[in-house]
A and B are shown apart, each in its own frame.
Chain A
Amino acid sequence: MKIDASKEKSVVVVIVEGDLDASNAPDLRAKFEELIGQGENQYVIDLSGVPFMDSSGIAALVNLFKRVRIGAGDVKLCGLQEEVKKVFELTRLNRVFDIFDTCAEAAASF
């Protein structure tokens, strides 16, 4: 799995590529931890390069969401592939996260 983060205006765009499961979800958590430590609280998570995600990936995203919402921040998701979208639908987390087709739309929604 590859993780890249860049800042566009006040929004941090995190691009994740590759399968996301319990073997590498801690890496994503560590990246989020680093960004939160830098005071970032507005995130777009680009999942267009993630063909597979399990509940460990969900847990990492929910953890980030809970933490940034305390400080009036937000987490928006974009580019979900069908298999990943299904996980959000089954867990009803599609009602919690704002999910966009494109990252441009997600970034513009802040």
Chain B
Amino acid sequence: MDIDNRLVIDSRLEEIARARDWLAERVSQAMLSRETVGDLKLALTEALSNVICHSYDSEPGHQIILSLFVDDKALTLTIRDFGRPFDASLYQMPDLDKLQEGGYGVFLIQSLMDQVRYDTSSGVGTTLTLVKQRDRQRSKKPGNYSASP
């Protein structure tokens, strides 16, 4: 059964829990493993934290539109914001051999998802697309992603 859904949240950190609950409720019909649901929730959380804190500079009152599509092969989650575009070319992977407090958000997203695409071609904000294949062994190495300028 295909699942197609949309949620609009405000650019406040308190909204992230609501988005997690929305995601978990929507994918509950999709017969996913607990681990896969956990991966999706974490990737969504990291992505929304980045949008709110960096694209919108922690300023409330801005829209973030979430869209979820699930079919028998994959889950596709898109996160659309209208803030400062994310420049994927500037992103640097954290050095996991050094003890650091920050910089793990994008790394975790890339590690947990099968595909990560940043699209800033509209000229306003960023559309982040996250794809997770349905519960099969992943072969992608962490850190691979694509970006559309």
Q: Bound complex: CA of A87 vs CA of B16, how far in Å?
A: 18
Counting contact residues on chain A (CB < 8 A from B), the size range is 20 to 34
Which of A22, A63, A83, A96 meets B42, CB within 8 Å? A83
A55 and B14 contact, CB distance less than 8 A:
no
**Which of A56, A58, A82 is most buried by chain B, counting CB atoms within 10 A of its CB?**
A56
- Secondary structure at the A interface, as helix, strand, loop or mixed, is helix
A23 touches B53 (CB 8 A): no
For chain B, give the interface size range. Answer: 20 to 34
Inter-chain CB contacts under 8 Å: number = 72
- Asked if residues B38 and A86 are in contact (CB atoms below 8 Å), the reply is yes
Complex alpha-carbon distance, A52 and B112, angstroms: 15
**Interface on B for A, CB 8 Å cutoff?**
13-14, 16-17, 20, 34-35, 38, 41-42, 45-46, 49, 52-53, 94, 96-97, 99-102, 104-105, 107-108, 111-112, 142
A-B contact pairs, 17 of them (CB 8 A): A19-B17, A21-B16, A22-B52, A23-B13, A52-B38, A54-B46, A55-B46, A55-B49, A56-B49, A59-B101, A62-B101, A66-B99, A66-B101, A83-B35, A86-B35, A87-B108, A93-B99
